[in-house]
C-alpha cells in the first residue's frame, strides 16, 4: 500500500496533472491554473480523546491562489486501492488539521479546504460516502443538529470515454489504462503522448505487480533523454522487443502487445492522413485541435470518412 501511495504521489505532484484531475473530475470545467498551485504541508498531528498524540499524512496537498499573499483555497487528493469504510472520518481529520494550520500560521479569514478521493480499484465505491452513512439511527430530536461530512469519490476504472477524453494531462492515459484493464481490453492501447513516462511506468509496475514494467524503466529513461515521443503504445512495442530479446514473453502476452503496437502504427498513419487532408483544405485551426484533443481528432476522422 505504501509503495502504491508513493507512486501515485509522484505523478500527482506535478501541477498540470493535479489541476487536470480536479478540473475534469470535480469541477467538470477548467477552473484551476497549474501556475497558481504550490505544495502545502501533508503531515499533521492530532490528540485523541484519551490525550494520545497521533500522526497523519495526506497523499497530495496543494494551496491555490495568487502567491503567498492571497490564498483562495487548498486541495487534497487521496488515493485508494480499495474501499475504506471510515474514509469520511479520515478526510474530516485531514481537512480539520488544514483549518487548524490556517488559524495558526495565516492571518485573516479562513479559505476552504477541499479533498477528493480517487478509487483505483476494479470495484465501484458504492457504500459510505458521508459521515451520515456511518451512523445508525439518529433520534428525530437530534437530526436537525447533526453536522454531516460528505466526501467526493471518483471511480477511475469506471470513467466514461467522454470523461477520459476530457483530461489534458498524462492522467488521460492513466484513466484509460485502469478502465481497459478492468474491462479485459488491451491496457496499453492509448496514443496520448506522455510527459511523465517514468512515473507512468512505475505506476503500472506497482498496480499490475508485473516486473516487466519496472525492468523497462531504464529504457524509458533513456528514450526520454533522447527526446522520443512516448505513449502507452510505445511502451507496448518496447515490451515486445525487450521480451523477444530476453525470450521471457509468453505467446499470449506477445500477441496482446503486438496488437497494441499495430494499433499505434495504424493510429499514426491515420493521423498523418487526417493532417494532410486538413492542410490541403486550409483548416489550420482544426489541425491544431486534432493535435491537441483526441475527442476532436475522432470527430474529424468521422467527418473525412477515415473511420467508422
Give the pTM: 0.74
Buried/exposed 257-284: b ≥16 CB within 10 Å, e otherwise: beebbebbeebeeebeebbebbeeeeee
Say if CB 125 and CB 153 are below 8 A apart: yes
Kindly give the confidence (pLDDT) of every residue in the chain, 308 residues in length, as a single tens digit, with 9 standing for 90 and above. Answer: 555 556 667 899 999 999 999 999 999 999 999 999 998 866 544 344 444 434 568 889 999 997 656 789 999 999 888 899 999 999 999 999 999 999 998 888 899 999 999 999 889 998 999 999 999 999 999 999 999 999 999 999 999 999 999 999 999 999 998 998 888 877 787 888 899 999 998 888 877 777 888 888 889 999 989 998 889 888 877 876 776 556 555 555 555 555 555 554 555 566 667 777 776 777 777 776 776 666 777 888 788 777 65
Say if CB 119 and CB 78 are below 8 A apart: no
DSSP the chain: -HHHHHHHHHHHTSHHHHHHHIIIIIISS----GGGEEE---EEEEE-TTS-EEEEE-SEEEEEEETTTEEEEEEEEEEESS--TTHHHHHHHHHHHHHHHHHHH--SS---EEEEEEE-SSS---S--BHHHH--PPPTTTGGG----B-EEEEGGG--HHHHHH--STHHHHHHHHHHHHHTS-TT---PPPS-HHHHHHHHHHHH--HHHHHTHHHHHHHHHTT----HHHHHHHHHHHHHHHT---HHHHHHHHHHHHHHHHHHHHHHHHHHHHHHTT-HHHHHHHHH-HHHHHHHHHHTTS--
DSSP 130: B
| Cα(70)–Cα(129) distance, integer angstroms | 32
pLDDT at res. 247: 58
Amino acid at each position: 500500500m505504501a509503495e502504491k501511495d508513493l507512486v501515485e504521489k509522484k505523478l500527482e505532484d506535478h501541477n498540470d496533472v493535479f489541476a487536470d484531475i480536479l478540473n475534469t473530475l470535480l469541477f467538470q470545467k477548467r477552473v484551476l491554473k497549474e501556475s497558481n498551485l504550490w505544495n502545502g504541508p501533508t503531515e499533521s498531528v492530532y490528540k485523541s480523546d484519551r490525550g494520545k498524540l497521533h500522526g497523519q499524512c495526506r497523499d497530495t496537498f496543494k494551496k491555490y491562489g495568487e502567491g503567498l499573499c492571497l490564498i483562495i483555497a487548498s486541495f487534497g487528493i487521496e488515493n485508494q486501492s480499495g474501499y475504506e469504510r471510515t474514509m469520511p472520518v479520515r478526510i474530516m481529520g485531514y481537512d480539520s488539521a488544514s483549518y487548524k494550520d490556517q488559524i495558526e500560521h495565516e492571518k485573516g479569514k479562513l479559505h476552504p479546504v477541499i479533498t477528493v478521493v480517487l478509487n483505483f480499484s476494479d470495484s465501484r465505491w458504492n457504500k459510505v460516502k458521508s459521515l451520515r452513512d456511518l451512523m445508525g439511527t439518529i433520534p428525530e430530536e437530534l437530526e436537525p443538529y447533526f453536522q454531516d461530512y460528505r466526501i467526493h469519490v471518483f471511480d477511475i476504472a469506471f470513467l466514461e470515454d467522454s470523461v477520459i477524453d476530457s483530461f489534458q494531462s498524462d492522467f488521460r492515459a492513466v484513466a484509460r489504462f485502469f478502465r481497459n484493464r478492468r474491462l479485459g481490453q488491451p491496457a496499453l492501447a492509448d496514443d496520448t503522448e506522455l510527459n511523465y513516462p517514468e512515473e507512468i511506468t512505475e505506476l503500472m509496475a506497482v498496480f499490475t505487480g508485473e516486473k516487466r514494467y519496472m525492468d523497462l524503466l531504464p529504457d524509458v529513461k533513456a528514450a526520454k533523454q533522447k527526446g522520443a515521443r512516448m505513449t502507452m503504445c510505445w511502451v507496448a512495442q518496447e515490451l515486445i522487443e525487450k521480451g523477444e530479446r530476453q525470450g521471457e514473453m509468453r505467446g499470449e502476452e506477445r500477441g496482446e502487445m503486438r496488437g497494441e503496437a499495430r494499433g499505434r502504427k495504424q493510429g499514426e498513419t491515420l493521423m498523418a492522413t487526417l493532417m494532410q487532408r486538413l492542410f490541403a483544405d486550409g483548416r489550420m485551426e482544426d489541425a491544431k485541435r486534432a493535435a491537441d484533443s483526441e475527442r476532436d481528432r475522432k470527430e474529424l476522422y468521422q467527418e473525412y470518412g477515415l473511420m467508422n
